[in-house]
A and B are shown apart, each in its own frame.
Chain A
């Protein structure tokens, strides 16, 4: 569009009028913003009845403003720049804005209204272009090619009606108080709706985003109805899904109920709108315009909250918890309370108040457990369900027990469990059982198991078995874990090893093999090498001698000896002394209560007896003569007394 002279019949604009017009044009974005707010307010109310009509009217005005703004900023000036020969210096953007009209003092040439408007437009365009350039520089790295195209406005019908701009300018000139935008709007025939904070969700796309991609339907002036209809049609779309989905994660789409609408702060709503824009726009915060950016900086916390809300996954619709869920919650609480109290009680043993409190919590926990079982039973007759529940409960209990520990301990447990994870549970259980730690008064299971394992001449077998174990573990060249003799390697079930006949046959074959090996080991002079049992005896003797020496003579031990001695000592110190000294008289081969093999192997006792230091034996004999020992006197007690009375030095 060239800067051609228009017919002289048109009225000329005075500098004052032009200045007013500029002011008016510059106030357009503000007016649009107000319109947006008003339309949002209507949207909040549901855009029905009178509201819908009002909304439509506002939409129409808005669309006019929109067209005007776009035309001014994007169509007229760029088109002129692109198509026209370069204007004389006096018509340069700067000259036009400063010399001609900026201060109002320059001579106003006799331009037609159309010409003046173009000059005005150029001035505004220059300003906007400058802003756009700055923004573009910042966003250059982020904006895909599509975005600038949106600004270029190519393909959008050019505003051909100069009269359109005339109208605008006239409107500006007819409103002598552009500084008061509210008045302008009122003067434009728009009834200001009650100021009710509004949501943004229902706004037409261009209202939500002041810098939207090109939307021809809005930019086309010949189809204002479409623009107007859009916002009015929106509420039905936005309200329905959110009503059906109360957990909608997008608060912008939340149903605009009267309660939330009226009570919500416009600032919150604006924050929500901007948050939504940041979230949905590919350029995030870079997509914000100046005002939005300002708002963001000034209301950072509020915006952050809205962002968090947007990013929070949708909650499931709230419902009444079931009886089982309530009970589970209750059980969890009592479990936690009980375990915390238990933990404290173990830290401070002996405090009576703590004990009573602990007992009350334990009772509560057990009561809840009973109730839980009753509930499950009511729900299902499947016994496996109940069993699984109990195992789960025990797991939860263990977990809680770990949680109350200090960090170091927690880490230690976690690392150990991690290691144990790769060990099949049965191997671990069997190792617990077979190390003998469970044999004795604790668990008759182990006793029975061991007893039956050694069925027949169990005692003799047990003796031999332990001897083999000791020999095995004592051989520095043999890396086979000792329990491999008894426990099937990980991944194989021991009871999958064949039927009883097969196992008997295998045992027999193994025994023959061992005899043959023993025979092979005979030395040249025909004397057999030491059997595993003999080796074990020797080791035990050494252990005990070392242990005894360390206890009675203060001998310095190597770390390995110390370890062995401690182990042996811990095992033996509580055993009645007479069992070592007079094994033939002691009934230690069997547990008196059960008649099954006793906790400790025959072999250990006999070798222990052999291994005791000569001094101890002398002291014992002396003590017996003085009747200072009885059947209950333990090794430890005896040694202490003997050292104290000087019979053992």
Chain B
């Protein structure tokens, strides 16, 4: 990731006041939470057939990236879910910021 991108993330989530190390830690943590939120919302929306396929992928020890790509392909409105989850976290952090 380019430094510009990092700056964007820091600006977006308004965490510029923290030292660089903490910024990185916060971003990592937020990434984890977004990922967790997206998976929690997206997986229940898998259509039945896709869910069967998905279970097979899990059993076959598929790579997480493959899994994620599959979800993107199979879950209707996946983009919106991702967008909403990022936006929600952003909103919450802004709320906390006051």
Contact = CB atoms under 8 A, between A and B. Distances in A.
Report the interface size class on chain B: 35 or more
A494 interface: yes
A413 B39 contact: yes
Interface in B32-69: 32-41, 43-44, 46, 51, 54-55, 58, 63-65, 67-69
B82 A401 contact: no
A24 to B, nearest CB: 78
A405 B44 contact: yes
A405 B45 CA distance: 11
A438 B82 contact: yes
B60 to A, nearest CB: 12
Contact of A419 (B6, B24, B55, B67): B67
Interface stretch (A30-38, A119-127, A324-332, A392-400): A392-400
A570 B51 contact: no
A633 interface: no
Given A391-B30, A413-B40, A416-B39, A432 B82 contact: yes
Interface string A474-509: 000000010100111000011100001001000000
A443 B86 contact: yes
A527 to B, nearest CB: 35
Contact of B3 (A422, A487, A495): A495
Contact of B4 (A416, A435, A453): A453
A452 B80 CA distance: 23
A442 interface: yes
Contacts of B34: 429, 432
A369 interface: yes
Interface string A407-436: 011001101110110111110111110010
A462 to B, nearest CB: 14
Contact of A387 (B9, B26, B28, B35): B26
Q: Which of B17, B69, B80, B96 has the most CB of A within 10 A?
A: B96
A563 B55 CA distance: 17
A522 interface: no
B89 A394 contact: yes
Given A432-B68, A448-B8, A417 B39 contact: yes
Contacts of A425: 28-32, 35
A567 B69 CA distance: 10
A437 interface: yes
B71 to A, nearest CB: 9
B32 A373 contact: no
A442 B83 contact: yes
Contacts of B12: 445
Given A386-B96, A412-B55, A437-B79, A453 B28 contact: no
A486 B5 CA distance: 12
A530 interface: no
A402 interface: yes
Report the interface size class on chain A: 35 or more
A50 to B, nearest CB: 68
Contacts of B51: 408, 412
A443 B1 contact: no
Contacts of A440: 79
A455 interface: yes
Nearest to B79: A437
A531 interface: no
Q: Which of B18, B35, B72, B87 has the most CB of A within 10 A?
A: B35
A566 interface: yes
B74 to A, nearest CB: 9
A383 B95 CA distance: 12
A136 interface: no
Contacts of A503: 2
A389 interface: yes
B6 to A, nearest CB: 5
B80 A432 contact: no
B44 A409 contact: yes
B87 A443 contact: yes
Nearest to B22: A384
A566 B73 contact: yes
Contacts of A445: 8-9, 12, 86
B37 A398 contact: yes
A372 B27 CA distance: 23
A109 interface: no
A409 B41 CA distance: 10
Nearest to B30: A391
B98 A394 contact: no
Nearest to B4: A452
A574 to B, nearest CB: 11
A428 B32 CA distance: 8
A443 B83 contact: yes
A570 B97 CA distance: 39
Contact of A432 (B28, B38, B43): B38
Given A425-B29, A438-B86, A442-B80, A369 B95 contact: yes
B82 A387 contact: no
Contacts of B79: 437-438, 440, 442
A417 to B, nearest CB: 6
A511 interface: no
Contacts of B93: 387, 390
B72 A409 contact: no
A370 interface: yes
Contact of B37 (A384, A394, A405, A431): A394
Contact of A413 (B4, B17, B24, B43): B43
A377 interface: yes
Nearest to A447: B8
A424 B89 CA distance: 19
25 contacts: A369-B95, A373-B98, A384-B18, A386-B96, A390-B93, A395-B33, A395-B36, A402-B40, A409-B43, A412-B51, A412-B58, A416-B43, A416-B67, A420-B35, A425-B28, A428-B32, A432-B35, A440-B79, A442-B79, A449-B1, A453-B4, A453-B5, A481-B65, A483-B65, A486-B1
Given A387-B93, A449-B9, 8 more contacts: A390-B95, A408-B51, A428-B64, A429-B35, A430-B1, A431-B68, A438-B86, A481-B65
Instruction: Give the top 7 A-B pairs by smallest Cβ distance, nearest first.
Output: A442-B83, A425-B31, A494-B1, A429-B31, A425-B32, A452-B4, A449-B5
